[in-house]
């Protein structure tokens, strides 16, 4: 009589993928086996092995620090926004109190110099110079025809709808700041009216990163709206 040999059972090794999938499908596994959780060792950046519980605590601590930094950043942004809102409010009150064009331009110059900490600033208004002969505000106020060759370097900006910040071209700096052009590191250009129909406001800083393309333009746009509305009264 012949006997048939039974096939041997060979146990396949458990792969990491199977363990990974099992634990993912059973997230309560370590709750049912707490002793195993404390026995697991996880490499640490210091080189020493730590328990999985300690590793989880470390991860949670890092997340807490990250959230704390994010909260701190949000608080700083909120405080900065409060300061900007107060400056806009102050400018609005100053402009409402003016009764003529000269006083309005003086109020704008003061607000830009003190409120925006401008090192140099110029209010460019499109029109005929003789129409503004009663305005005496020095180099801050400049009247020029929109088609004048001197403003050609600003043609792209004048046709846009948003303020522009960053480094300006030499021809732009020369027209705006003249003998002080070399000292200006960055500039904010703000339209006054739709497509700069009234003119534009230029704010210059000696700091190269004071005005940059990545900064929020909302504050500058609101300043431009206020200035344009005040100038339209006259």
> Structural domains in the chain?
69-232 (3.30.450.40)
- Reading the chain (234 residues) residue by residue, the pLDDT tens digits are 555 565 565 566 778 888 788 878 887 777 777 677 666 665 655 555 555 666 667 777 888 788 888 888 788 777 877 887 888 888 888 888 888 999 999 999 988 888 777 899 999 999 988 888 888 878 899 999 999 999 999 999 998 989 999 999 999 999 999 999 999 999 999 999 998 999 999 999 999 988 888 887 888 899 999 999 999 887
Kindly state the DSSP code that residue 113 receives in the 8-state scheme.
I
- Residue 69's alpha-carbon distances to 63, 66, 76, 200, 217, in angstroms, are 10, 5, 11, 38, 25
How far apart CA 118 and CA 104 sit, in angstroms, is 18
Tell me: the pLDDT tens digits for 148-200? 999 999 999 998 989 999 999 999 999 999 999 999 999 999 999 998 999 99
Of the candidates 116, 83, 81, 97, the one whose C-alpha atom is nearest the C-alpha of residue 201 is 116
How far apart CA 203 and CA 164 sit, in angstroms, is 11
Of the candidates 126, 207, 200, 204, the one whose C-alpha atom is nearest the C-alpha of residue 162 is 200
């Amino acid at each position: 009589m012949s006997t048939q040999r039974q096939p041997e059972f060979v146990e396949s090794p458990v792969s990491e993928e199977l363990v990974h999938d099992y634990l993912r499908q059973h997230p309560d596994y370590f709750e049912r086996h707490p002793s195993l959780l404390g026995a697991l060792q996880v490499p640490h950046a210091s080189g020493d092995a730590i328990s999985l519980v300690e590793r989880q605590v470390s991860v949670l601590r890092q997340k807490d620090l990250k959230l704390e930094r994010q909260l701190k950043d949000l608080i700083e942004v909120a405080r900065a926004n409060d300061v900007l809102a107060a400056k806009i409010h102050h400018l609005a009150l100053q402009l409402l109190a003016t009764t003529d064009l000269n006083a309005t331009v003086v109020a704008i110059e003061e607000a830009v110099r003190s409120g925006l900490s401008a090192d140099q600033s110029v209010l460019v208004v499109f029109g005929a110079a003789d129409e503004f002969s009663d305005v005496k505000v020095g180099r801050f106020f400049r009247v020029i025809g929109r088609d004048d060759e001197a403003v050609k370097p600003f043609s792209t900006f004048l046709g846009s709808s948003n303020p522009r910040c960053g480094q300006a071209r030499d021809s732009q700096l020369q027209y705006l700041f003249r003998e002080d052009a070399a000292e200006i590191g960055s500039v904010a250009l703000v339209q006054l009216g739709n497509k700069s129909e009234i003119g534009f406001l230029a704010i210059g800083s000696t700091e190269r990163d004071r005005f940059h393309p990545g900064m929020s333009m909302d504050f500058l746009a609101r300043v431009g709206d206020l200035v344009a509305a005040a100038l339209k009264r006259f």
